[in-house]
């Protein structure tokens, strides 16, 4: 097996497993940049996966065919935002502990999704969908020598959408007045308030966007990877996205890079047995790599990662 | 107004539990189940016979310990979400000692429980050290450590302790907490002596926090790090110690599963959930030893009762997960409960 064959095996797989992580991690960037910790990403992603699976299934019944997954993405984003609004109300308006509220979101999403699955389908999982996002070659780009084969052949459209959305998020956060306001609320809410920025409103927008993107991440996972929703569809991807966001230093493009890197680790842990040289590395090292690296990054051993200053503290007007 | 805040300490959990069950009932009603029938079945499933009672108490023991773990760290101002990982590591250590050590029960059982505690303490102290030395937030590191624990313990079982059925062998008789006597008086439930270990741990937590210098320092750090530093308390040392002790409780919670309920350890596809439930238990119990025991009794009961609710009223057990999540929400939003109380009080007076 030549080196190119190995890359051709791993890189598309890495990009596929990275896409849901990218969306969810970008959601995390919005929420945490506005100053609200979002441990609930896992639950939001899980509920997005459930919503996606159900919508695609019924979309197929109604004859939406190939459009079903795309409809499900929109529905999952709306449902995700609604679900995140619980976290927003609790942690912004009611000044609950944001971590506790996030933990509750995870419990609630897991319980409710399986409860509804059992209620609707009378089974522990949703039916397997037939309209998945299918692999395709990107026209023209796939003809580029070397790069075309690695990056643009046999790839899912959603993966490119993920990269594109990351660029948009970067533009919005760093090149628009809205982005400046959102970040300022997360760094120094009192100063932002003095400048006439509505702190609560910005934080609500941040959390709702995080719900929408995490929901999208879950739905993309169902449409491109798992094909249905069970209790074990989303087990830790949300937390891995959280890790990617931190490893990416709360920056959209950093999160993108980290999610791609974690996707690569996952891809190697799955297909590593076929690759000479990697067969001998125990799989466990690849499985734990994302988490170990995140801890090292936080400890400052792999570049210092600093959280937004006001992260985790509810804002109270007039409080010193 | 110390009286009023004391009253609120009881009222907030009670109202939260009530609201949680109420909304759970509304969800059942909307999805076409009979909430009254379901709740009757739930309570029969907790109190309707010594078998159920035994099961509830068995369920309580790891919940008490994981609740104590979360509560202990909370007292020092730390949020230990890593109970799940520390529990897995403790479970593995207990089973390891249970399988590979030969000793009479009087030594073997304490040794296995101790091993679980030490393993949990070591696992828990890593985020503690990272927090004390590098100022890394413990919430993130403990979550990451959970996954590292999950994959690492699985790998160790797969490579060194594998028995047919994706699990380890059974532990030796001499390390087992199982008790034919307790089983026979509860119509052969899976009740074991672990509850005694859990209750002793609760007493230890209370004694440590409220009757020792160490406990005083730990609580002082929890109230105000800067003031403690100024008063000459070594804040870093206390953070590491608090995480280690918290991890020890979590590790011992793992030994409840390994030495009591299962007698072995499986290769886990995902987390047990006991560690996360510990957060709910600690919150509901207002981080006190007695509160944790009561909280564990409630959640243990709900979980066992849910099985009966499913078989009689046909309501999926997951509904109880939803109810528990709602209870956490309302406890976390005690602001809302306070506000509601004020409205009700004012309404009563005017």
Q: How far apart are CA B287 and CA B293, in angstroms?
A: 10
For residue B107, the distance in angstroms to the closest alpha carbon of chain A comes to 34
Q: Is B318 an interface residue toward A (CB < 8 Å)?
A: yes
Residue A155: phi and psi, rounded to 5, are -115, 160
Spatial CB neighbours of A320, under 8 Å, sequence gap ≥ 6: none
pLDDT recorded at residue A143: 72
Residues, chain A? 320
Number of domains in chain B: 2
Q: Of the segments A8-12, A208-212, B15-19, which one has the largest average pLDDT value?
A: A208-212
Contact A114 B316 (CB under 8 A): yes
pLDDT reading at A280 higher than 60: yes
Residue A263 or residue B18, greater confidence: B18
| Position B164 in a domain | yes
Q: How far from chain centre, in Å, is Cα B243? A: 15
Note whether residue B311 is domain-resident. no
For chain A, the farthest-separated pair of C-alpha atoms sits apart, in whole angstroms, at 66
* pLDDT, greater one: A206 or A151: A206
Is residue A202 within 8 Å of A181, Cβ to Cβ?
yes
The string of DSSP codes covering B47-94 is HSSHHHHHHHHHHHHHHHHHHHHHHHHHHTT---TTHHHHHHHHHHHH
- Whether A287 is covered by a domain: the verdict is yes
| pLDDT winner (highest mean) among A233-242, B38-47, B241-250 | B241-250
What's the rounded mean pLDDT across residues A128-156? Answer: 73
| pLDDT tens, position by position, B184-235 | 888 888 888 999 999 999 999 999 999 999 999 999 999 988 999 999 999 9
Do B106 and B188 reside in the same domain of the chain? yes
Select, from the ranges A232-246, B47-61, B240-254, the one with the highest average predicted confidence (pLDDT).
Answer: B240-254
Domain count, chain A: 1
Question: Of all residues in chain A, what percent carry a pLDDT higher than 90?
Answer: 51
User: Residue A316 domain-assigned?
Assistant: no
The tokens describing B270, both together, are 């995902």
B4 and B117, same domain (yes or no): no
Are both B321 and B222 inside the same structural domain? no
CB–CB contact B130 A295 (8 Å): yes
Asked if A10 contacts A268 with a C-beta cutoff of 8 angstroms, the reply is: yes
Residue B46 lies in a domain: no
How confident is residue B350, by pLDDT bands cut at 50, 70 and 90? Answer: very low
> Measured in Å, how far apart are chain A's first and last C-alpha atoms?
64
Look at residue A320 and tell me if it is in a domain.
no
Lowest mean pLDDT across A8-22, A54-68, A132-146, A221-235:
A132-146
Taking a contact as any Cβ pair under 8 Å apart, which residues of chain A between 270 and 299 contact chain B? 282-284, 287-288, 291-292, 294-295, 298-299
CATH number at residue A221: 1.10.3470
Cβ-Cβ pairs closer than 8 A, A with B, add up to 129
Grade residue B347 by pLDDT with cuts at 50, 70 and 90. Answer: low
To test the contact with chain A by mutation, choose from B138, B147, B303 the residue with the greatest count of A C-beta atoms within 10 A, namely B147
Whether residues B275 and B129 share a domain: the answer is yes
Q: What is the pLDDT of residue B182?
A: 85
Distance (Å, whole) CA B254 – CA B258: 6
Residue A308 lies in a domain: no
Rounded to the nearest integer, the mean pLDDT of chain B is 90
Is pLDDT of A273 > 50? yes
In a domain, B53, yes or no: no
User: Is the pLDDT reported for residue B2 higher than 50?
Assistant: no
Task: Answer whether residue B69 is part of any domain.
Answer: yes
Residue A106: inside a domain: yes
- Distance set, CA B6 to CA B1, B3, B11 (Å): 9, 5, 9
CB B107 within 8 A of CB B298: no
Chain B hits for A112, CB-CB cut-off 8 Å, are 318, 322
B98 within 8 A of B258, measured Cβ to Cβ: yes
Q: Is the pLDDT of residue B1 over 80?
A: no
Query: Which pLDDT band holds residue B150 (cuts at 50, 70, 90)?
Result: very high
Q: Are residues B189 and B335 both part of a single domain?
A: no
Examine the domain organization and report whether B327 and B284 are in the same domain. no
Q: Do B212 and B110 reside in the same domain of the chain?
A: yes
CA distances for A215 relative to A75, A102, A172, A199, B13, angstroms: 9, 15, 20, 24, 31
Mean pLDDT of the region B306-323: 92
Average pLDDT score over chain A: 87
Whether B260 and B338 share a structural domain: no
Residues B67, B124 within the same domain: yes
Q: Domain range for residue B346? A: 1-33+316-350
Q: How far is B316 from chain A (nearest CA, A)?
A: 6
Give the pLDDT of residue A249. 86
Q: Is residue A310 part of a domain?
A: no
Report the pLDDT value the prediction gives residue A265, as an integer from 0 to 100. 77
Q: Does A304 fall in a domain?
A: no
Sign (positive or negative) of CA dihedral A63, A16, A29, A112: positive
Is the domain of B241 the same as that of B273?
yes
B23 shares its domain with B144: no
* pLDDT score for B48: 82
Does the CB of A198 have a partner CB in chain B at under 8 Å? Answer: no
Q: Is B23 on the interface with A (CB under 8 A)?
A: no
Q: What pLDDT does residue B96 have?
A: 96
> Could you tell me if residue B41 is inside a domain?
no
CA distances from A225 to A71, A130, A221, A237 (A): 17, 12, 5, 12
ipTM above 0.95, yes or no: no
Output B172 or B8, whichever has higher pLDDT: B172
Quick one: average pLDDT of B339-343?
72
Q: Which residue of B has its CA nearest to A287?
A: B151
- Residue B54 inside a domain? The answer is no
Domain presence at residue A271: yes
Q: Are residues B20 and B152 in the same domain?
A: no
- Whole-number percent of chain B with pLDDT over 90: 68
B57 domain-assigned: no
How far apart, in whole angstroms, are the C-alpha atoms of residue B98 and residue B109?
8
Q: Do B144 and A118 touch (CB under 8 A)?
A: no
pLDDT on residue A259: 92
Higher pLDDT, A73 or B178: A73
């Amino acid at each position: 097996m030549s080196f190119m064959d190995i890359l051709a095996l791993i890189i598309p797989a890495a990009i596929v497993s990275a896409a849901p992580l990218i969306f969810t991690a970008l959601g995390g960037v919005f929420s945490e940049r506005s100053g609200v910790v979002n441990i609930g990403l896992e639950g939001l992603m899980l509920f997005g996966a459930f919503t996606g699976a159900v919508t695609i299934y019924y979309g197929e019944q109604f004859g939406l065919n190939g459009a079903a997954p795309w409809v499900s993405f929109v529905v999952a984003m709306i449902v995700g935002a609604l679900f995140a609004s619980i976290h927003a109300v609790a942690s912004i308006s009611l000044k609950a502990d944001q971590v506790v509220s996030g933990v509750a979101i995870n419990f609630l999403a897991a319980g409710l999704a399986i409860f509804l699955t059992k209620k609707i389908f009378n089974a522990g999982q949703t039916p397997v969908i037939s309209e998945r996002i299918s692999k395709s070659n990107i026209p023209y780009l796939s003809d580029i020598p070397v790069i075309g084969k690695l990056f643009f052949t046999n790839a899912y459209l959603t993966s490119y959408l993920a990269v594109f959305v990351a660029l948009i998020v970067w533009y919005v956060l760093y090149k628009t007045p809205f982005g400046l306001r959102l970040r300022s609320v997360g760094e120094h809410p009192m100063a932002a308030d003095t400048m006439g920025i509505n702190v609560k409103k910005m934080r609500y927008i941040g959390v709702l966007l995080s719900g929408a993107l995490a929901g999208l991440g879950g739905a993309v996972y169902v449409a491109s990877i798992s094909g249905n929703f069970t209790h074990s569809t989303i087990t830790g991807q949300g937390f891995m996205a959280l890790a990617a966001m931190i490893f990416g230093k709360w920056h959209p493009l950093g999160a993108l890079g980290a999610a791609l890197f974690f996707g690569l680790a996952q891809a190697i842990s799955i297909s590593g047995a076929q690759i000479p040289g990697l067969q001998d590395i125990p799989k466990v090292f690849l499985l734990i790599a994302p988490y170990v690296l995140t801890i090292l990054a936080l400890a400052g051993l792999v570049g210092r990662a600093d959280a937004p200053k006001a992260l985790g503290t509810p804002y109270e007007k007039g409080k010193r | 107004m110390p009286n009023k805040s004391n009253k609120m300490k009881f009222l907030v959990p009670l109202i939260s539990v009530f609201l949680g069950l109420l909304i759970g009932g509304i969800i059942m009603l909307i999805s076409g189940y009979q909430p009254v029938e379901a709740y009757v079945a739930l309570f029969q499933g907790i109190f309707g016979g010594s078998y159920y009672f035994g099961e509830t108490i068995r369920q309580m023991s790891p919940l008490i310990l994981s609740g104590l773990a979360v509560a202990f760290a909370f007292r020092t101002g730390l949020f230990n979400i890593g109970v799940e990982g520390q529990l897995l590591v403790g479970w593995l250590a207990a089973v390891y000692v249970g399988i590979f050590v030969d000793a009479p029960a009087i030594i073997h059982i304490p040794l296995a429980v101790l091993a679980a505690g030490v393993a949990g303490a070591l696992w828990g102290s890593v985020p503690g050290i990272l927090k004390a030395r590098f100022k890394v937030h413990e919430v993130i590191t403990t979550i990451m450590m959970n996954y590292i624990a999950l994959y690492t313990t699985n790998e160790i079982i797969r490579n060194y302790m594998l028995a047919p059925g994706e699990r380890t062998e059974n532990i030796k008789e001499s390390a087992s907490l199982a008790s034919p006597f307790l089983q026979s008086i509860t119509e052969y439930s899976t009740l074991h002596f672990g509850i005694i270990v859990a209750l002793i741990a609760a007493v230890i937590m209370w004694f440590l926090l409220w009757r020792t210098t160490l406990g005083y320092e730990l609580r002082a750090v929890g109230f105000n790090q800067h003031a403690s530093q100024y008063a000459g308390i070594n804040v870093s040392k206390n953070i590491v110690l608090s995480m280690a002790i918290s991890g020890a409780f979590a590790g011992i919670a793992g030994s409840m599963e390994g030495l009591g309920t299962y007698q072995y350890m499986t290769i886990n596809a995902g987390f047990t959930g006991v560690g996360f439930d510990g957060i709910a238990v600690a919150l509901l119990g207002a981080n006190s030893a007695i509160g944790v025991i009561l909280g564990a009794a409630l959640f243990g009961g709900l979980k066992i009762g849910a099985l009966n609710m499913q078989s009689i009223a046909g309501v999926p057990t997951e509904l109880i997960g939803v109810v528990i999540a709602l209870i956490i929400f309302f406890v976390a939003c005690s602001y809302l409960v306070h506000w509601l109380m004020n409205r009700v009080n004012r309404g009563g007076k005017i």
